[in-house]
Amino acid sequence: MSNEVAAIAVDVGDLPLGGGLLALVRPALNALDPGGVLAVLSRASSVSEDLPSWCRAEAHEYLAVQEISPGVERHLIARGRFAISIPINHQSRLETPQRSLSSQEMLDVEPFPGSADPVTGFAPRGARVEQGGPTYPFTLNERAHVAPPEIAKLYDQAVAAQWDANSDIPWAKVKSLPAEVECALGQVMTFLAENELSALYVPSRFIARIHPHFAEVAMFLATQLADEARHIDVFLKRARLCGRGLGISSVITSRSLLSLLQCDDFIEATFLLSVLGEGTFLDLLSFIERFAPDEATAELTRRAKNDETRHVHFGLAHVRFGLATDPSLYRRLEATVRRRSATLHGAGGVPAPLQDALTILAAGGSEPRSVARGHECYRELLETMHLSRIKRLGHAGFTAEQAEMLSLLHTPNFM
């Protein structure tokens, strides 16, 4: 037995078992396959008493001990057959960067797997996972349904683009406006906040289902949630500042957002929320920025629009990646839009309080000729939204015909 060849030797000096020896012996055993032999060189006599007992408790095999020089013993241990070898991944090592270190570089050294096993739980991608753990209830385990290649770059951009709703908006420059403009602005901000609340809740439903091996997607969605939280914050601040407070929440908005919240499929929800909904909101925010009655309103809508642009990019990337790997997805997405449209059928057009508020905002007041101009701008907005949606759907990979049809079926609530 003492002729057994040890794969690894560890010198533990005079450490007793309960005095730090295990911190050297356990990692050495972990580096071996089951059955692999470790030599422990020890100068402590108590180790002869304790190491065999520890091996019995841990189901390793204590093979033999030999005095190799006066006072120095060589214990041989075979790693137990119940221990499961956990290979070390040397490729995931990063070199020291010149300046910054991006998520994209992290992803490059440890790429997404094609599919992930729910039994790895919250273990980060690349961790050496001990076998026998419980199975987690993650359902988004396939890369094609979750993680587009652009995700790490989008996350890096999102982190760099965070801003402060308290101090980055020139709130001090807000002054009282004519009563009808104040009312219109309060209404528009109410509508925006209500819709952004849905954009906060909808992605959050999916984060807990995403396998942590695609953590960059969950992390990106976390920035999206932070963005929405900030938008809700600034929209409500603007509604209350010097104005008449909040406006009306319409049933059509409520129905539309409920149908969004009830969507159970991640890619379908991303399509409805980010490609169609937030995509349409880009034009709405541009409109509000263009007719903003003060600098603060223009600044907050501009900043919100920048954030929303990122969400739309994620939505497009997500859908495009899904379509590239699963051709049946076109049909599914089309069916989702049709189903939602059928649910909302007859519920009405664009919420009337919003229509009126956008018209007054564009008019800058209630003088009839200005209102006529405002109304014209509003009509142009609807046309712009339709055309942009078609363009965006084209980017996602739909044909012109499909895009036209899907755009027309989109909710009159915009989101």
Partner 1 sequence: MSDQTILLGAVAYDPKVVTIWEGIREHFSEQGVAMDFALFSNYERQVEALLQGHIDIAWNTPLAHVRVRQRTGGKSHSLAMRDSDRNFRAKVIVHRNSDIKSLKDLEGKTLAVGSSDSTQARILPLYFLAAEGVDLARITLLPFDSDLGKHGDTGSSEIDVLRALHDGRADAGTVGDLVWVTEQAAGHIDVNKIEPLWTTPGFDHCMFDAHPGLATEKVEAFRRALFAMRWENPRHRRLLELEGLHEWLPAREEGYRSLEEALKLQASP
Size of the site for partner 1 (CB under 8 A): 22
17 binds partner 1 (CB under 8 A): yes
d(CA 400, CA 229): 35
The number of beta carbons lying within 10 Å of the beta carbon of residue 389 is 21
Classify burial at 227, counting beta carbons within 10 Å of its beta carbon; exposed 0-12, middle 13-18, buried 19 or more: buried
Provide the H-helix boundaries in 59-178: 103-109, 143-146, 151-160
35 binds partner 1 (CB under 8 A): no
Nearer residue to partner 1 within complex by CB, 119 or 222: 119
Half-sphere exposure of 85 (CA within 13 A, CB side): 11
13 binds partner 1 (CB under 8 A): no
185 neighbors 297 (Cβ within 8 angstroms): yes
149 binds partner 1 (CB under 8 A): no
Nearer residue to partner 1 within complex by CB, 33 or 367: 33
398 neighbors 406 (Cβ within 8 angstroms): yes
φ and ψ of 94, to 5 deg:
-100, 145
Show the binding pattern over residues 337-376: x = contacts partner 1 (CB under 8 A), - = does not: ----------------------------------------
Candidates 129-137, 175-183, 353-361, 401-409; binding stretch for partner 1 (CB under 8 A): 129-137
67 binds partner 1 (CB under 8 A): no
Q: How far is the CB of 72 from partner 1 (least distance, A)?
A: 18
> Which of 33, 49, 108, 376 is the binder for partner 1 (CB under 8 A)?
49
d(CA 97, CA 41): 40
d(CA 306, CA 290): 15
Q: How far is the CB of 45 from partner 1 (least distance, A)?
A: 9
Buried b (16+ CB within 10 A) or exposed e, 105-117: ebbeebebbeebe
Contacts of 346 (CB under 8 A, 6+ apart): none
64 binds partner 1 (CB under 8 A): no
122 binds partner 1 (CB under 8 A): no
97 binds partner 1 (CB under 8 A): no
30 binds partner 1 (CB under 8 A): no
Q: How far is the CB of 61 from partner 1 (least distance, A)?
A: 12
Q: How far is the CB of 69 from partner 1 (least distance, A)?
A: 22
> Which of 106, 119, 123, 377 is the binder for partner 1 (CB under 8 A)?
119
Instruction: Dig out the tokens for 43 from the structure.
Output: 């100068």
Candidates 12-20, 71-79, 342-350, 351-359; binding stretch for partner 1 (CB under 8 A): 12-20
> Which of 9, 33, 35, 53 is the binder for partner 1 (CB under 8 A)?
53
52 binds partner 1 (CB under 8 A): yes
> Which of 27, 35, 64, 82 is the binder for partner 1 (CB under 8 A)?
82
Instruction: Dig out the tokens for 291 from the structure.
Output: 């007719």
Candidates 51-59, 147-155, 213-221, 305-313; binding stretch for partner 1 (CB under 8 A): 51-59
Classify burial at 251, counting beta carbons within 10 Å of its beta carbon; exposed 0-12, middle 13-18, buried 19 or more: exposed
Contacts of 185 (CB under 8 A, 6+ apart): 177, 238, 239, 243, 293, 297, 357, 361
C-alpha distances (whole Å) from 78 to each of 56, 311, 388 are 11, 54, 67
> Which of 30, 36, 43, 46 is the binder for partner 1 (CB under 8 A)?
46
> Which of 1, 57, 160, 172 is the binder for partner 1 (CB under 8 A)?
57
132 binds partner 1 (CB under 8 A): yes
1 binds partner 1 (CB under 8 A): no
Contacts of 141 (CB under 8 A, 6+ apart): 115, 116, 117, 118, 211
Candidates 34-42, 133-141, 197-205, 306-314; binding stretch for partner 1 (CB under 8 A): 133-141
> Which of 22, 200, 246, 298 is the binder for partner 1 (CB under 8 A)?
22
412 neighbors 252 (Cβ within 8 angstroms): yes
Instruction: Kindly list the residues in this chain that would bind partner 1 in the complex (CB under 8 A).
Output: 16-19, 22, 46, 49-50, 52-54, 56-57, 59, 80, 82, 119, 131-135
